[in-house]
């Protein structure tokens, strides 16, 4: 039986803690907040993340608290007209792609950890170095501003500002939003919308390129009038949804090259601490779940240095490919030049009429991956 310390009680910390405790290890989670913060807004759980939740025995609970994503719809912002819609079920089989509130996911993972006898130390600002003397392994799931990443990678300490801002809001679902993810694209900005919580609520993520003066915290609020001003060009029924925003959180997005050192001694990085990413493929939580599964297996089977090598070998190629695809999406979503926009939109309309399912091709490697079936 290993004695493991986990720093951070977000999606990665809670999932790795649960997986390890379920395998019989003694796990303590250290969280700097006084409470497990069941906050946030919508989160997409794609099949590659869902299979880890299934492994934890949480499928039923996730189903109850989420909406099935039946298709992806891409629209132009001006009048909200459809450019392309594709159903992913034909390529993903019956695999589940769920849309839910982050707070509900965190609550489910927290309960799972408690039932697996994980112990929690709340209000504890943990330091990986001192914990590493007391535990067989320390897993740093301390998020986008990870102190541990900086400790393990002293040269590239800082997050890279991305000059993107995200606003997140949840409004009553009064428009006829389909049961899936809608991406509405505009020059320099886009909106992602999807229903959550029994389809009663509509999750809105609004992203715009803008100079970011190092504002990276969750929890800042924005005046609804400011959002309406910034996104005033959006028409169709999305305008109605944007007009109904009463509260919104503003979030400066940051990203980071995947650092050189993923582990030192018995200290390992995981989730956003290892690879903060822009949300253009909604993979932050899903990648965190994949990391959690791989790392929980490896530290059970191997000594720290072998586990570190294998962790890097398994996760690096996939994370690098993901980061590359995210970068590509960033400019495609925000095409500014009217000529390029017109050409791209004609291409999407043509695809919609001729062979819409082919639009899912670039995502198959991502969603059809089942980390729980890896031969570790």
Ligand X SMILES: Cc1cc2nc3c(=O)[nH]c(=O)nc-3n(C[C@H](O)[C@H](O)[C@H](O)COP(=O)(O)OP(=O)(O)OC[C@H]3O[C@@H](n4cnc5c(N)ncnc54)[C@H](O)[C@@H]3O)c2cc1C
Give residues in contact with ligand X (CB under 6 A).
7-13, 30-33, 37, 39-41, 43, 102, 125-126, 141-144, 147, 168, 218, 271-273, 284-285, 288
255: nearest Cα among 284, 278, 280, 281: 278
Shortest gap between Cβ of 7 and ligand X (angstroms)? Answer: 5
Rank residues 39 and 351 by Cβ distance to ligand X and give the closer one.
39
Least distance to ligand X, CB of residue 189, Å: 18
Q: Please identify, using beta-carbon distances, which residue of 63 and 218 lies nearer to ligand X.
A: 218
- The residue among 76 and 272 lying less far from ligand X, judged by its C-beta, is 272
> Shortest CA distance to 7 belongs to which of 299, 277, 272?
272
Shortest CB 358 distance to ligand X, Å: 27
Cβ neighbours, 10 Å, residue 47: 22
**194 three-state secondary structure:** strand
Report the residue number, 129 or 178, with the smaller CB distance to ligand X.
129
Q: To the nearest whole angstrom, how small is the minimum distance from the Cβ of residue 157 to ligand X?
A: 15
Q: Looking at beta carbons only, is 277 or 348 nearer to ligand X?
A: 277
Query: Residue 254: CB partners within 8 Å, gap ≥ 6?
Result: 144, 159, 160, 161, 162, 216, 276
C-alpha gyration radius of the chain: 20
Q: What is the dihedral of CA 96, 101, 102, 104, to 10 degrees?
A: -90
Q: CA 206, 234, 241 angle in degrees (round to 5)?
A: 65
- Cross-sheet strand order for the sheet of 71-76: 82-87, 71-76, 181-186, 189-196, 201-209, 160-172, 248-255, 220-222
Question: Is 20:27 a contact under the CB 8 Å cutoff?
Answer: yes
CB of 168 to ligand X, least distance (A): 5
Closer CB to ligand X, 3 or 78, in the complex:
3
Smallest separation, CB 342 to ligand X (Å): 32
Question: According to DSSP H, which parts of 36-139 are helical?
Answer: 47-55, 59-64, 89-92, 102-115, 128-132
> Between residues 74 and 277, which has the closer beta carbon with respect to ligand X?
277
The count of residues in the chain is 376
Min separation Cβ 139 and ligand X, Å: 11
Taking CA atoms, 190 is separated from 74, 113, 187, in Å, by 10, 36, 8
Cβ closest to ligand X, residue 96 vs residue 272: 272
Q: How far is the CB of 72 from ligand X (least distance, A)?
A: 16
User: Using alpha carbons only, what angle is made at residue 176 by residues 172 and 177, rounded to the nearest 5 degrees?
Assistant: 80
Q: Tokens 């000059």 appear where?
A: 163
CB of 221 to ligand X, least distance (A): 13
Which of 116, 287 has the CB closer to ligand X?
A: 287
Measured at CB, which residue is nearest to ligand X? Answer: 10
């Amino acid at each position: 039986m290993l004695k493991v310390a986990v720093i951070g009680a977000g999606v990665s910390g809670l999932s790795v803690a649960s997986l390890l405790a379920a395998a019989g290890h003694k796990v303590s989670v250290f969280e700097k907040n006084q409470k497990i913060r069941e906050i946030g807004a919508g989160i997409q759980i794609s099949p590659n993340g869902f299979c880890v939740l299934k492994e934890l025995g949480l499928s039923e609970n996730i189903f109850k608290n989420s909406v099935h994503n039946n298709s992806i719809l891409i629209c132009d912002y001006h009048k909200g007209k459809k450019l392309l819609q594709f159903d992913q079920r034909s390529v993903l089989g019956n695999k589940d792609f769920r849309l839910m509130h982050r707070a509900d996911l965190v609550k489910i993972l927290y309960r799972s950890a408690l039932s697996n006898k994980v112990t929690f130390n709340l209000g504890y600002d943990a330091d990986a170095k001192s914990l590493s003397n007391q535990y067989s392994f320390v897993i740093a799931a301390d998020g986008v501003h990870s102190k541990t990443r900086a400790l393990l990678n002293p040269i590239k300490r800082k997050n890279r500002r991305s000059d993107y801002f995200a606003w997140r809001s949840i409004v009553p679902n009064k428009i006829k939003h389909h049961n899936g993810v809608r991406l509405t694209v505009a020059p320099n900005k886009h909106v992602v919308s999807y229903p959550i919580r029994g389809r009663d609520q509509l999750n809105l993520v609004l992203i715009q390129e803008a100079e970011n003066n190092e504002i990276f915290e969750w929890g800042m609020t924005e005046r609804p009038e400011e959002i309406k001003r910034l996104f005033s060009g959006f028409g169709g029924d999305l305008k109605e949804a944007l007009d109904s925003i009463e509260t919104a959180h503003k979030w400066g997005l940051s990203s980071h090259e995947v650092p050189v050192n993923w582990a030192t001694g018995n200290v390992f990085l995981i989730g956003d601490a290892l690879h903060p990413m822009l949300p253009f493929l909604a993979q932050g939580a899903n990648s965190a779940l994949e990391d959690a599964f791989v790392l929980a297996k490896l530290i059970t089977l191997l000594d720290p240095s072998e586990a570190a090598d294998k962790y890097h070998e398994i996760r690096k190629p996939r994370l690098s490919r993901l980061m590359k695809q995210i970068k590509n999406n960033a400019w495609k979503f925000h095409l500014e030049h009217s000529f390029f926009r017109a050409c791209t939109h004609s291409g999407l309309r043509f695809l919609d009429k001729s062979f819409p399912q082919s639009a899912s091709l670039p995502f198959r490697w991502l969603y059809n991956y089942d980390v729980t079936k890896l031969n570790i």
